[in-house]
Each structure stands twice: as structure tokens, then as C-alpha cells.
Amino acid sequence: MVKRKVYKVVATLLILSVFPLVSVLAVQYSNWRTFTSTAQVRYVDYFDDTLHVMTSGGYLKIDPSTLEMTKITNDDGLGTNDLYYILKDSSGEEWLAGYGRLLRKSGDEYRPYVFFDRNNNLLSLYCLADDSNQLWIGTSAGLALFSKNVDGGQIEDLYSRFGDFNPEPAVYDILIMGDTIWIATSSGLAVADKSRPDLLKSFVNWKTFNSSNFPELIYDTVSALAYYHNQLYVGTKKGAYYLSITDGDTSFVRVPTRATIRVNHMRVMSDKLYIYATGGYFIVSESGTAWGDITSFPNAGFAGGYFVPEGHWIGMQYNGLYYGEGANFSKIDDGGLLSNDVTAVYADDSGRVGACFRSYGAAKYENGLWTPLTMNIGSGAVAVVNDKNDGTWVGTWGNGLNYVNGDTSINYDETNSTLRGVLEGPSYVVVSALATDGRYLYIDCYRALDGNPVSIVDLNNRTRWISFGIGDGITTDQVNSIDVYGNNVAIGTDYSGVYYLYLGDDPFSKGDDSTVNFREDNFWLGSNNVNTVRFDNDGVLWVGTKYGLSRYDDGIERFVNIVLPDGFGPEVTHLFFDRRDNIWIGARNGLARYDAAKHSIEVFNILNSGLADNLITALSINPITNDLWIGTPSGISVLKSNIGTPTTDAAKVIAFPNPFIIRSSNDVLTFNYQGNATVRIFTPTGDQVRELDVNIPWDGTNQEGKKAVSGVYFFLLTASDGAIGKGKILLVRQ
């Protein structure tokens, strides 16, 4: 367990003074694991003989001499993978800036200061500047002044008005020169005297430069600043300039580059100015401007870089980190995800795990590494399942359905299946969701132009297809989710509720089929805007909608809407049921677990767990390990099972953890039996201490709620079918 003191900084930009709320948050990161991609590099720095790389997928520390790499992510204590900046201040302390958090490094631990805006949304922290006992922080809604020492660190002031700029511009870079502070913002360039920070609250004390008075600053955004050879250099969306002031006349002089470029970062090294931009990287010296050789790179999106004695390290906007010199650069791979924008995850009965990515196709997880599938799926992979024949099926947004099995790869589209493209482009085939019952694959074909948006393929004969649509009672083509249980198929739609199909024993024979449309107005569905449909282990249909969670009740033949905890939801994006009938609920603002035994709901988010992101895009449970795999736009989070590998054999049941060490009220003991059973706990002399349902963890108390003393105990599990399991427990109180 990583225990951290969290300083919650409420950035209420409308008031004159701000007092941070201080709270203590203990997060059990040991239960979480994160997989990310570091392809999107934001910033590169070098100190203490180490290269420090900030990315949207975590923090890389690299020894340039040995190329030894350490990857640090949210479950290592950062609390966020979305990082923008790192700074070593004049006292030797390290500070990291990222989404919602300023992180102060202390040894191997990170003390977070959490930044919220006035609407209680997390701010992005883009840059830092050291100013003795204070830090200046550029945020997505203005400038902050932070004291390093007062109360262990707290915000001193917030600045949101700069001259004639619109309020609350994003601040992307900061340059301090004596008592002068320059800031690069989304509204232009601003400068002020910082010797009296209180005076910076007034917009009149800022001098500003933007396109209204300097046409060179077209689009207004200033992204980077540098001071080189007694001149201020400014990076913009359209190139780099230096500020020239002659006889009171101010102008921006363009730095000659080969093309119009967006500047991402500028740095002075070895008496040269390096400009990293979308059009390449450029080197400014006394002899002029030279263009860096970019033939070693897949594109020209340069985010930043640093020269070390061994060579030049360059971070790319979308293609990771490179090292080399001249025209010879090599990519440094961290073995992580292909991309962070995860759209689907799977874990099949054999324990195979994989994922889809909106921009980079699909990959499988093997031997600790993520490997792309062996066919060119292209971008827009959004759905994936494995079949019983070891085949992987990947649905894409525009490239149809793809099948991969060893060296075999097949693309299914309008030419060789019942799938159809959209009206605007018949060859643009969108497969939005997949489900399988082992015999057949059930497919959502979004906006199929023939009005048949649901297809089925026989997994034992992949040439055998059938489709369903208007003629079968499905009167919309905007389908987005699908699930199957027995002879029943549920289809979620964008605006038309749920279609419930009974297909009989043979879905290729339509003679006994029936279709019902569940909507708000006829079956009390929570909303017609459906995101996900899922059958539970008993075949009960659950629906996640834009406005909540609904369960179909056969007894009253309508939906019952589930009350979610305050602050969670209401939009439900994904659902999954584990083998103990607990419901995992994904939302746009976190993850929830409904405990079927306790009838309680626990909520996880990026502030109290190892989640990579609050937006849940996919859920799956590995049936071998019982671990929960969670897809997000910021990578994959894995919540490790607290019951170990589940078993249906009562004789093989174990208690976990054992020894059962109790340090706090959060420590509990569970049993890995995945069925209905009763557990009784005894002392060595045969006295019963506690009786409880197998799904309810033991907290180390007896039937009266008193603490059981340290020592040896025995458990006896009796399954609903009469099977018996037993074992020994060592309880240790600390």
C-alpha cells in the first residue's frame, strides 16, 4: 500500500484568495497494474545523469549510457499517466506536472497536489518555472503561483486575466528573466513585472501581444518561449519569431524555416537554439538556421529533445522516443501498448488477453509484451472477441470485420459476407460490436445500407452468413452493442432503445423468430440512448444508457432503473458480471462494483484507485486469474483479483491471503469458490467463531462483531450441492 498525503488545491478563479483543502488519501496501488503507450512525448529533460521523459502514458527514466529504462505510471504513485513537464528546482527537488496534479518527488514517493477549477473539474498543468521558494505553474485555465514551503506546499494565488485577453487562457510556457515574467498562452504572449505578485491580479498590469496588434501572431496561440543571444524567441502555430524592439518600435521577426510549422518546444543547448516543431527540428546559431535531418523518423511531429554526451534524444508527438545523431536515429521501445486510446479488451477462457485501439488496430498480450496482430487491420479497431478455434475477430470503424488465426487472416466486407457499408460509402463497413456463444459470432454492422444491421456467422463454417434488419422488426440501423444468452440476442441502439430477438435453436432458420423493441415509453427503459447491453449469469438483461442503469424484470415485464451512488454516472458506458454475480459498471466518470452479497456499491476513480482514466471504454475479466481488465482513453488498468484463481471444486477451495494479517479494518480474507456456499470458521477446539456466505469476506471478527485473536483457525465450506471444502487459516493481528 502506498500512503500519500494529498493536497487538494481548489482553483476557484473568481475569488481573490484561495485556501487549499487538505485531506489524506490512502490508495491501495498494489492491487492495480497499468499498461500504457509512451508514444506521445510531451517533454524531455536531462539531469542527474538521467534522461527524464514526460508522456501521455507515464514517466520514463533512462540511463543514456546503458539505455536502461524505468517506466513510472499512476499505480507507482503518480496518480496520473498524463504528464506534461518535469523540473529540478534550485534546491534539488524534483517536480512533475500533469493532468490534475502537481507532484513533488521525495525519495521514491510522490506527494500530489490536486488542482481543480471552479466547476470541480481537474486542471491540466502544462509547465513549471522555478522562482526560489515558489513555483509558477501554467494551467489549462490560467497561471498559478505555488509556495513550496507554506503548510507543506500550497497555492498562493491564481491569475486568469491578462490585459485584453479573454479570461482563463491556457498557459503553455513560462520564462522568468529577473523580475519579469513572460507567459505563452492560447490567447497570445503576455509579460509583467512579478516583483509584486499581488499586482498581477489586475489585468492592467500585463502587457499583451496577439494578432490584433501583431499580424505575425495569427491564430494567437503562443506555445513556446526561449531566450537566446539577448533576444526573446516565441513559438506559435505558424512558426518561430524573435521579438525585436528598436527605438521603441516592437516587431516579430520570423525565424527562417523550410515550411510553415507549429512550434512545440524550444531549448538552448551548446550555444544553439533548437526548435522542435511539426515540420521538423531546426537549429539556430550565429551562422544562421539549419534544418535537422528527419529521414530517420516516421513523421515530422517533433515534441522536444535534449543533447547528452552520448547523442541527441528526440521525443515525437505520436511516435515515441528516438536516439541518435545526424541521419541515424533509432526508436526506443518501452514494450507497452500500441496506443493509449483503448476501445475494447478481451480475455478468453484460455486466459488470452488482447485489446483494440482507435488509431492503431489491435494487439495481443504475450510474455509481458504487447504485440500487434499479424494482419493489417488499420485504424479504428473498436470490437474484439476470440472464438473456440483460437481465432480472433476484430471489428473496425470502416474496414469491416477481420479474422486472424496464426498465419490465416481474412477481411470480411460487403464482397464476401452479409456486412454492408454505410449509405455515403458502400465500401466503408462499420462493425461496432461483437458477441459470441461459442457456436456463432453475432455482429453489429452500424448503418448498413441495406437496412440489415445485424449479422451472424457460423464459426464452424465461416462462409455461412445471415443478416437481420427491417424485415425482422429491427427498424433502426444505428446499432452499437450486442450480447447473446441461449437463444436470445439483445441489441443496443443510439436512439431507439433495445431490440430483443428470440432466434430459436438455429439462428439460420427464421421461422420461429420474434422481436421486441424495449423503449422508454413501453417498457420503462431508463433511456432510448443505449451504450451497452449485457446478460448476467442467469440470463437477466441489463442495459447501460445515457441516463443510468436498467434491469429487465420478468415478473413485472418491464425495466427497473437502478439508483447509482451520488456523483457516479449517470451515463453508463459498459457492464460486466463476474462469476460471483458482482456487477462491474463503467461510466464516463469512473468504475463501480456492485457487491451481490452485501448489496453495496464501491466507486473507483483516478483519485482513489489505480485507474488510468475515469472514462471507461471497455471491461473484461480473465477467467483464469479473475483479474478485471479495464480499457480507457489513457491506457489499460488491471484490478487484480482478491480471491485468487476461482474454482468450482469445493475440495480445492483456499482462503486468501493466508497468513491473514490484519493491520487495519480494510484487511479481509476471501475464499476462491465461485458458487453458492456457506463458510463456517472454528477455533482448534471446535468452537464456531463465524458463519457467513462465501461471497462475503471475513473481517476477522466473530458472530457478535468482536475481534478474533491472533492464532490458528479452521474453515469448513459447504456448497449448495453438499460438496465440502476445508482448510487452515493463520490470523495475525498487527
Tens digits of residue pLDDT in 420-437:
999 999 999 999 999 999
Classify 170 as helix, strand or coil. coil
Q: Which three cell numbers stand for residue 699?
A: 473481517
Q: What residues make up the domain containing 286? A: 161-334
| Tens of pLDDT, residues 123-133 | 999 999 999 99
The answer to the question of residue 508 being in a domain is no
DSSP string, 458-507: ETTEEEEEEEESGGGT---S-EEEEEEETTEEEEEESSS-EEEEE--S-T
Q: Are residues 24 and 165 in the same domain?
A: no
pLDDT digits over 666-718, tens only?
A: 788 888 888 889 999 999 999 999 999 888 889 999 999 999 999 999 999 99
Inform me whether the pLDDT recorded for 269 exceeds 80.
yes
Distance of alpha carbon 637 from alpha carbon 157, whole angstroms: 35
- In Å, how far are 285, 546, 585 from 588, measured between CA atoms? 49, 10, 10
Does residue 120 share a domain with residue 213?
Answer: no
Does the pLDDT at position 15 exceed 50? no
Cα separation, 603 vs 506, in Å, equals 41
Residue 275 contacts residue 235 (beta carbons within 8 Å): yes
Same domain for 124 and 262? no
The verdict on 120 and 167 lying in the same domain is: no
Please tell me whether residues 297 and 171 are part of one structural domain: yes
User: Is the bond into 657 cis (omega within 30 degrees of 0)?
Assistant: yes
Asked which of 125, 157, 189 is the last residue of a domain, the reply is 157
Q: Which of 278, 309, 334 is the last residue of a domain?
A: 334
Written as one string, the DSSP assignment of 61-129 is: EE-TTT--EEEE-GGGTTS-S-EEEEEE-TTS-EEEEEBTEEEEEETTEEEEEEEE-TTSPBPBEEEEE
Q: Are 109 and 4 in contact (CB under 8 A)?
A: yes
Q: Does the pLDDT value for residue 26 go beyond 80?
A: no
Q: What is the pLDDT of residues 41-55, one digit of tens each?
A: 999 999 999 999 999
**Spatial separation of the C-alpha atoms in residues 47 and 500, rounded to whole Å:** 61
Judge if 715 and 616 occupy the same domain.
no
Residue 651 three-state SS: helix
pLDDT reported for residue 503: 96
149 and 168 both lie in a single domain: no
What is d(CA 457, CA 439) in angstroms, rounded to the nearest whole number?
Answer: 9
Tell me, yes or no, whether 391 lies in a domain: no
Most confident of the following: 220-229, 288-297, 600-609, 720-729: 220-229
Cell numbers 494479517: residue:
661
Place of cell 492491487: 31
Instruction: List, for residues 155-193, the tens digit of each pLDDT value.
Output: 999 999 999 999 999 999 999 999 999 999 999 999 999
Q: DSSP letter at 296?
A: T
Q: CATH no. for residue 612?
A: 2.40.10
Query: Is position 445 within any domain?
Result: no
Quote the cell numbers at residue 615: 472514462
Q: What is the pTM of this model?
A: 0.84
Check if the beta carbon of residue 500 is closer than 8 Å to that of residue 551.
Answer: no
Is the distance from CB of 276 to CB of 310 less than 8 angstroms? no
Q: Which residues, 6+ apart, have CB-to-CB distance to 240 below 8 Å?
A: 233, 234, 254, 255, 257, 261, 263, 266, 275, 277, 282
Same domain, 223 and 321: yes
Cα–Cα distance between 353 and 337 in angstroms, integer? 13
Q: How far is CA 275 from CA 55, 136, 175, 300, in A?
A: 19, 23, 16, 12
Predicted pLDDT at 465: 98
Residue predicted with more confidence, 202 or 665: 202
Over residues 471-491, the mean pLDDT reads 97
The residues, ordered by sequence, that sit 6+ positions from 520 with a Cβ below 8 Å of its Cβ are: 497, 526, 527, 528
DSSP structure class, residue 571: S
> Do residue 174 and residue 290 come from a single domain?
yes
517 phi/psi in degrees, rounded to 5: -105, 110
Q: How far apart are CA 592 and CA 292, in angstroms?
A: 50
Total number of domains constituting the chain: 4
Residue at 405 is within a domain:
no
Q: Is the pLDDT of residue 386 over 70?
A: yes
pLDDT (0 to 100) of residue 24? 30
Supply the pLDDT for residue 620: 96
In the predicted model, what is the mean pLDDT of the chain? 90
Residues 233 and 270 reside in one and the same domain: yes
Distance (Å) of CA 163 to CA 143, 205, 236, 699: 14, 7, 19, 60
Q: Is 271 contained in some domain?
A: yes
Last residue of a domain, one of 640, 665, 693: 640
Cell of 535: 446478460
Pairing of strands 109-116, 2-10: parallel
Whether residue 177 is contained in a domain is answered as: yes
Residues 6+ apart with CB under 8 A from 168: 13, 141, 142, 160
Residue reference for cell 420461429: 512
Confidence of residue 526 (pLDDT cuts 50, 70, 90): very high
Domain check: are 321 and 198 in the same one?
A: yes
Q: Within this chain, do residues 199 and 258 fall inside the same structural domain, yes or no? A: yes
- In the structure, what pLDDT confidence band is assigned to residue 378 with cuts at 50, 70 and 90? low
DSSP letter assigned to residue 452 = -
Q: How far apart are CA 629 and CA 639, in angstroms?
A: 7
Tens of pLDDT, residue by residue over 493-519, are 999 999 999 999 999 999 999 999 999
Q: What is the reported pLDDT for 643?
A: 62
569 near 528, Cβ under 8 Å?
A: no
Task: Grade residue 467 by pLDDT with cuts at 50, 70 and 90.
Answer: very high
